[in-house]
Amino acid sequence: MNPSMTRRDALRTSAAGFGSLALAALCRQAQAADGYVSPLAARQPHFPAKVKRVIFMFMEGGPSHVDTFDYKPELYKADGKALPYEQPKAGTVGKEPKLMKPPFKFAQHGESGLWISEVLPHLARHADDLCLINGMFHDTGLHEAGCVMMHTGEFRFTRPSIGSWITYGLGSESENLPAYVSVNPRDRNESSGCYSNAFLPAVHHATIMRGVSKLGVQKSPPIRNVNNPILSTSEQRRQLDFVQRLNVRYQQQKQSDSQIDAVIESFERAYRMQSAVPGLLEVGSETKETLELYGLKSDGSGNAFAVQCLLARRMAEAGVRFIEISQGGWDHHAGIATGIPNACRGIDQPIAGLITDLKQRGLWNDTLLVWGGEFGRTPVLEQKPNNNHGRDHNGAGFTYWLAGGGVKGGLRYGATDELGYFAAENKVKVHDLHATVLHLLGLDHQKLTYRYGGRDYTLTDVDGEVVRDILA
């Protein structure tokens, strides 16, 4: 029985002949007879998986790889010199671009000796957990196109996001929470299709959670259209039961419809989420030690991304399959000497705390962390007044990193050229990255298909390959 219903509510709905429990049984019988499977029912992977879930940490704006995770000694030596080769046509830094060294020092860390910038001291302590992919590349330098590319593998046409493909392939581990959640995304990323199900069933669209900024405090309801301001809980239950009755009759007539299934699933899940989400968001109920691990205090102070990281761990525990958290402030066309440290302070301790927390709770080995933005930045300066220089967009070479179950920690895979402009060694396409993520979840990227418009679609189209050298 639903714990939010009173005994009187239960008796009243049962008296109508369609109590929740009886209706659920009737639905299951009708659905079983029709071969129906819930669109979010947990499914078996194609082969044994290394991980159960993904936490994607998206850095909005395009973090500079040469100032964070891609150490380039030659760039320090070439500071102020002209770029020795032709700049990509998409560049906007001027006719005579000059190289600019990072205004920060790099050092080797851990037994692996990974080079990491001084602006990330907390993450540097986890160097042996990180798998740096320094040879990422794609062919756009535009924010919106880059964001869509990293989420869907295609920016020219509308395609489902990687989170949608994963929930389509594996379903959900939770009956009360969404399978795919994106926390605090930018409006333009949502409207451009970064979290869209596209032609996949609607139930695989991301659930957007906004206003998560302080411990247990939101500017407005974090998930839109979940709470019903008009109907009581018991009235909502009766309404859903009525709709379910109609659905059962429809299915008994052998007219299964995936769109109706998705709508009913979303209604039912929204009803259950009304009681599940508030508890999930009470991150302030964590112990003082846990809060401090993320750089938070019990009075609610601390940065919003730290709250997102802690919420991501809570969602991982609760069975959410694909969790995306995001942090803006990486579009450093100017002021990179102060902008990079500020952006890194916002993520450094929270991500390090998340890694430690996942390990302490036994979630590390079956969770995959993915970190990166829509592209990197150029090694040449974007000239600004008063020497307040920055770097321009660069999709030709940038860094992502993975950590957690199934990947080799302390590894640097691939490389940009000696100045950090172009991916040059063991280059990794976006489709390769996506194929690798699916593989770690036990999904064959070539077999995970959906028929639409007369052809079979996959997340990786026709050219993705699993990056097997990084697999543990």
Provide the token pair at 162. Answer: 């990687």
User: How many domains is the chain partitioned into structurally?
Assistant: 1
User: What pLDDT is attached to residue 7?
Assistant: 40
Report if residue 417 sits inside a domain. yes
| 400-432 per-residue burial string, b: 16 or more CB within 10 A, e: under 16 | bbbbbbbbbbbbbbbbbbebbbbbbeebbbbbb
Residue at 188 is within a domain: yes
Residue 32, C-beta contacts closer than 8 angstroms, at least 6 positions apart: none
Let me know if residue 23 belongs to a domain: no
Q: What is the pLDDT of residue 235?
A: 73
Q: Does some domain include residue 93?
A: yes
Q: Please tell me the pTM assigned to this model.
A: 0.86
Per-residue pLDDT tens over the stretch 422-461:
999 999 999 999 999 999 999 999 999 999 999 999 999 9
Tell me the average pLDDT of the chain: 85
Task: Indicate which CATH number applies to the domain containing 94.
Answer: 3.40.720
Please give the residue range of the domain that contains residue 193: 54-226+297-338+348-384+399-470
Splitting the chain (472 residues) into consecutive groups of 10 residues, what average pLDDT does each group show? 39 36 45 58 96 98 98 98 78 70 98 99 99 97 96 94 98 88 78 87 88 62 60 70 73 62 66 65 87 86 89 95 96 97 98 99 98 97 90 97 98 98 98 99 98 96 96 98
Q: What is the pLDDT of residue 28?
A: 47
Domain-located, residue 149: yes
Residue 71: predicted pLDDT: 99
Structural domain contains residue 100: yes
Summarised one tens digit per residue, pLDDT across range 191-224 is 678 999 999 988 899 988 877 776 655 555 566 5
Q: Is residue 108 part of a domain?
A: yes
pLDDT at 283: 81
Residue 40 lies in a domain: no
The pLDDT of residue 260 is: 64
